[in-house]
Structure 1
Amino acid sequence: MLWKGSICLLSFIMLFFSSLISFMLGLTYMFNDLVVFIDWEVISLGSSSITMTVLLDWMSLIFMGFVMFISSMVIIYSEGYMEGDLTLSRFIILVLLFVLSMMFMIISPNLISILLGWDGLGLVSYCLVIYYQNVSSYNAGMLTVLVNRIGDVALLMSIGWMLSYGSWNYLFYINRFGLSNMKFIMIMILIAAFTKSAQIPFSSWLPAAMAAPTPVSALVHSSTLVTAGVYLLIRFSNLLLYFDLSGVLMFIGGLTTLLAGVNASLEFDLSKIIALSTLSQLGLMISVLSMGCSKLAFFHLLSHALFKALLFMCAGNIIHNMMNCQDIRSMGGLIMFMPLTSLCFFVSNLALCGMPFLAGFYSKDLILEMSLVQPLNLMGLWFFFFSTGGTVNYTVRLCYLVIFGDLKFSSVFNMGDGNWKMLGGMIPLTFMGVIGGSLLSWIIFPDPILVHLPLSLKLMPLLFCMLGFTMAFLLYTCYYLDFSTDLSYLKYTFRSVLFFPYMFSYVFKFPLIMGFYNMKVNDKGWLEDLGGQGFYKIFIKKSGELEFIQSSILKSFLLLLTMWLVVILFITMI
């Protein structure tokens, strides 16, 4: 336990101070308008050289600072959450590898080094999803890695397509991206980002990844795995508009946001509700990119990372105290038993809704106001505003069933805010969830942004939030509509629409079955007789014959035969 405690403490100190250094460097680079481009020649063979390219600008440095800050809080939280785990040191090392892969992806302007971090995220996420070694974890890990391989193949195809340019540093060829063959590269990068950020129709792996330990979910859903696709599209944002792909982004992102919000209102698993809220916010970021507001999407990405990590940590503490029960219908009244955790949970939910002056308000309010001044059609506005109302709806439902109301658990047991290691990771994030949005808005948008709108349009975000709150209040407090019995067909309908479970089951089922029969009939069938096993049998047979020829019995027989022939020849000559 001393070794496990020391590795947690050392990892926390390293990540926390690295995050402070990275954040301060990012501020320096932003205020002085600096960009550092580093080429490190790893190896040189004749006229060919292999170089590692690093891009340091304000965006990459600030994002790295946020990733390392959240990771340090997650590691402190993990020490309390996974107390008693015999393999805690292995878990911490996997988390550090996860963060390292994300660092590679953030600082790389080179598609090869991006792929290094991209595949590192996929591999380490698979190891973390199957950390609890059971059948459901294995199935979830396999679904995660197979869906993400689609995006990996798309990124590999874009790398192969860029061979004609002599380098994979896409920043060098921004001016040549107007060529028609570069549109194919952009579409492949778009597919890769959709799979990594779990947009429709690749949304099925994100709730399945909840099989991982809760600290991993806090890290994955806030600032690492699922945000990698959004960050990649932010880097390519000017090309998205150049090739007129904004309509695709708006439709896919808006549909993901809307359906994730509807499904979260019908779900009862606490972890899956928060995972679906992550899916909804990722779709919102993709929709913002379709309007050409890359800085605004990055702003929402950072502010969302703060309160979403806190939301998962609070959920993990609640599940920990509820004896691993995740059904929100069995919860209620936790504010009486766990006041500090309930406070952090409530603050993070308010930030998710966009409560004024919390972290989510500054980005979400600006997103909705920018959508009103952009030349969007009616469907785009519906996506933005109805998804905002849906967020308030499922958040109020979650707070009511978990924090307030009556405790509906079946047994009496002791629970409370006794684990200070877990609270030590939650309280700093609560503080950042309160002030992080204003801090980021002052940094990213130092000049005041004033959006001139009529009073009716200015009040539209507030109106839709109030509509979502009223609907949740009427459905879950006054009438208490239980979707497990009432309107249960809606739950299964929207779940099947959103997750495409049957489609992906058949997509992955038939190639795996064909591979099994190919292995059984060909690899272990007639190809074995004609191939390795056939040659093996021939060699055994011929080796036996050769051994018989070279054996002493045959030698004695030949010697005796020779002697008889000599005797017969001698007799005939006489």
Structure 2
Amino acid sequence: MGICLIYFFLFLFLSLVFFVSSVLLLLLDLVYFLEFELLTINSSMVLFTVLLDWMSLMFMSFVLFISSMVIYYSDEYMSGDSYLDRFILLVVMFVLSMMLLIISPNLISILLGWDGLGLVSYCLVIYYQNVKSFNAGMLTALTNRIGDVALLMSIAWMLNFGSWNYIFYLEELKNSKSMMIISVMVILAALTKSAQIPFSSWLPAAMAAPTPVSSLVHSSTLVTAGVYLLIRFNFSFNDVMMFNLLFISSMTMFMSGLGANFEFDLKKIIALSTLSQLGLMMSILALGSYKLAFFHLLTHALFKALLFMCAGNVIHNLVNCQDIRYMGNLISSMPLTCAFLNISNLSLCGLPFLSGFYSKDLIVEVMSMNYLNLYIYLIFYLSIGLTVCYSFRLVYYTCVGDLNYVSLNNLFEGSYVMLKGMAGLIFLVIIMGSVLSWLMFFTPYSIILPLLMKIMTLLMIFMGIWIGYELSKFSLNYLNLSNKFLNLSSFLASMWNMPYMSTFGMNFYPIIMGSYYYKSLDQGWTEFYGSQKIYSLLVKNSSNMQVIFNNNIKFFFILMIMWLMFVLFIY
């Protein structure tokens, strides 16, 4: 039995155990807080703490289930790799880091999981070892370091409380200055990890990783760590923090949805859709509904993992071609993959009664119930419309439109292991939304709105379908368009020039300044007054001393005569 199958069965079994335990804890309303004493030095105990409640167990069961399917899928996807075992072990380390983060009520152990995710994600992004991968890996690592430093600073501030178990202090010390600073630092850490504006550029760049990794990263691990941390910390946020978080996340949601409509890389479109959904989770969290954010986090994990697995199968069959303009009419050659792709796409759009609908529709209706301004109301619905728009554009280019690939192709569905991995998720993508809504909300939500507001989501979905279809036909005549439209589309596709700002913008002026200082200081004044000056003085002095050492008997006699003259002169 290969390493893939061992971890597949292990993770699948643990996922089932955790899910059953989560449901039991939810029904019995229990929370287990476990403390393990690692060592005691001078009456100071070093403890390892674990928080087991329905939320952490439920999330762990989802992470493990998706990981098991992704590892099974990787067995065939990465079959050409000489070091498959190393790849699988990296994925397992990635999952274990996420587990540590989920069960930690303590900022120190959270940092271990947090940094574990950052380090392993860097190793996975640079896995293919080319220049593009190295650049993407460095951008990912350095952007996430900002959040890591913020988390370290919050750990330092928590010294004021005498313990790092933040779970004890969230509500009691909500209005203390220290807790406010810690909360701001935690929000900053979550913004970098979940790639919100202005740290968004690393998420599409991280698509340089192998597709199974992308499937894991974008569904249930790395990017969701920030949202999960905010869900845990949500009791300590005040109105100002919530307002800023709401503005940033809503702008991210809109920006990524708009950008995905002008992108042609299959994986980047799905990455931008992840960014849009993360913005949705963050914004409903900022409106105060942390349970809804968690609900959408779980349903989103399922259909996003499946979406990436379908994309991986398509890329695999097209011999590593990721440009959607080359695809088309795949429904005739890869019918099952296209069926999975369409179901997960419709779930992403929030089509009734797939899993995405239950969380997304509830989020939008709860937002509609709140007393908010027009900006938030419009940006939520526009983002929903844009999601449907790029989803149907993707379907048009891949499944329905004309095939623009090479004439001599070998497109067929012979990858049975990958198909089985995807089939393991499809059932949950369809039913899990309703199951979770029955489990998580004991009292059913009854939201009463006027007819127009109630059907606004459906109107936006149909409008998005129409615009997505028209945009696809419009984009096919891409070369005949005016330069203004090309400039606008490149601006929107590049996420409002954010990748340039966070790479070129951060490096250009410091490098120019560095070269200036190198010339004027390092090779200039410091050389003149520093090492070269010391060297010239030493040479000059040593040459003077050399004259004395070469003529030491003469100097001795001259000094003796001078001394005698001095004695005679005095006396």
TM (normalized to structure 2)? Answer: 0.88
Map 1:197-212 to 2 at 5 A. 197-212=194-209
- Is 1:442 the equivalent of 2:438? yes
Taking the aligned partners of 1:196 and 1:480, their CA distance within structure 2 comes to 33
Q: State the SS of the aligned residue for 1:51.
A: strand
Contact 2:331-2:338 at 8 Å conserved across structures: yes
2:470 corresponds to which letter in structure 1? L
2:317 aligned with 1:321:
yes
Matched, 1:237 2:234: yes
Distance 2:457 2:206 in 1: 32
Moved over 4 A (4+): 479-485, 508-523
Separation of aligned partners in 1, 2:508 and 2:65: 40
Work out which of the residue numbers 477, 491, 494 in structure 1 matches 2:492.
494
After TM superposition, give the deviation of residue 178 of structure 1 in Å: 1.4
Count of residue pairs the alignment pairs up: 522
Whole-Å separation in 2 of the counterparts to 1:183 and 1:173 = 12
Q: Distance in 2 between matches of 1:484 and 1:62?
A: 49
1:470 aligned residue (449, 463, 466)? 466
1:507 aligned partner: 506
Q: Residue in 2 aligned with 1:28?
A: 24
Q: For residues 378 and 190 of structure 1, do their structure 2 counterparts lie closer, same or farther at Cα, with a shift above 3 Å needed?
A: same
Deviations 1:463-499 (A, max 9, x none): 111111121223324x555456532111222245545
Query: Cα–Cα, structure 1 residues 166 and 423, in superposed 2: closer, same or farther, change >3 Å?
Result: same
Structure 1 residues 410 and 381, CA gap change in structure 2 (3 angstroms): same
Q: Distance in 1 between matches of 2:494 and 2:339?
A: 34
Question: For 2:405, what is the secondary structure of its paired residue?
Answer: coil
- Distance across 2 between alignment mates of 1:302 and 1:384: 20
Give the secondary structure class of the aligned counterpart of 1:236. Answer: helix
Aligned residue number for residue 553 of structure 1: none
Equivalent position amino acid for 2:201 in 1: S
| Deviations, residues 18-39 of structure 1 (Å, cap 9, x unaligned) | 1110111100100000000011
Q: Determine helix, strand or coil for the equivalent of 2:5.
A: helix
Pick one of 207, 211, 214 that aligns with 1:214.
Answer: 211
The answer to whether structure 1 residue 143 and structure 2 residue 143 are counterparts is: no
Q: Partners of 2:477 and 2:382 in 1: how far apart?
A: 22
Query: Are residues 384 and 319 of structure 1, via their aligned partners in 2, closer, same or farther at CA, if it must alter by over 3 Å?
Result: same
What residue is the counterpart of 2:365 in the other structure?
369
User: 1:451 is matched with which residue: 447, 452, 455?
Assistant: 447
Residue type of the partner of 2:309? M
2:184 maps to a residue whose letter is: I
Q: 8 Å contact 2:307–2:341 — kept in the other structure?
A: yes
Q: Deviations over 1:100-137 (max 9, x none)?
A: 00011000011110000000000000000000011110
**Deviations, residues 216-256 of structure 1 (Å, cap 9, x unaligned):** 0000000000000000000111222x353221121111111
Distance in structure 2 (CA, Å) of the matches to 1:403 and 1:414: 16
In structure 2, list runs of 5 or more residues that go unmatched. Answer: 536-571
1:15 paired residue among 11, 15, 20: 11
Is it true that 1:119 corresponds to 2:115 in the alignment?
A: yes
Task: Please report how far the alpha carbon of residue 522 of structure 1 lies from its aligned counterpart in structure 2 after TM superposition.
Answer: 7.4
Deviations 1:285-320 (A, max 9, x none): 011011100000000000000000000000000001
Give the residue type in structure 1 aligned to 2:353.
F
Matched, 1:181 2:181: no
Of stretches 501-510 and 418-427 in structure 1, the one that deviates more from structure 2 is 501-510
Cα offset for 1:184?
Answer: 1.1
- Aligned partners of 2:247, 2:335: CA distance in 1, in Å? 41
Supply the distance in 1 between the matched residues of 2:518 and 2:59 (Cα, whole angstroms).
Answer: 46
| 2:93 partner amino acid | L
Given residue 209 of structure 1, which amino acid in structure 2 is its aligned partner?
A: A
Match for residue 68 of structure 1? 64
Checking the alignment, whether the CA contact within 8 Å between 2:195 and 2:203 is kept in structure 1 is yes
Deviation of 1:166 (Å): 1.0
Give the gaps of 5 or more residues in structure 1.
Answer: 535-574
- 1:246 and 1:346 mapped to 2: Cα distance? 35
User: How has the CA–CA distance of structure 1 residues 43 and 369 changed in structure 2, closer, same or farther, with 3 Å as cutoff?
Assistant: same
Paired with 1:201 and 1:295, the residues of 2 have a C-alpha distance of 26
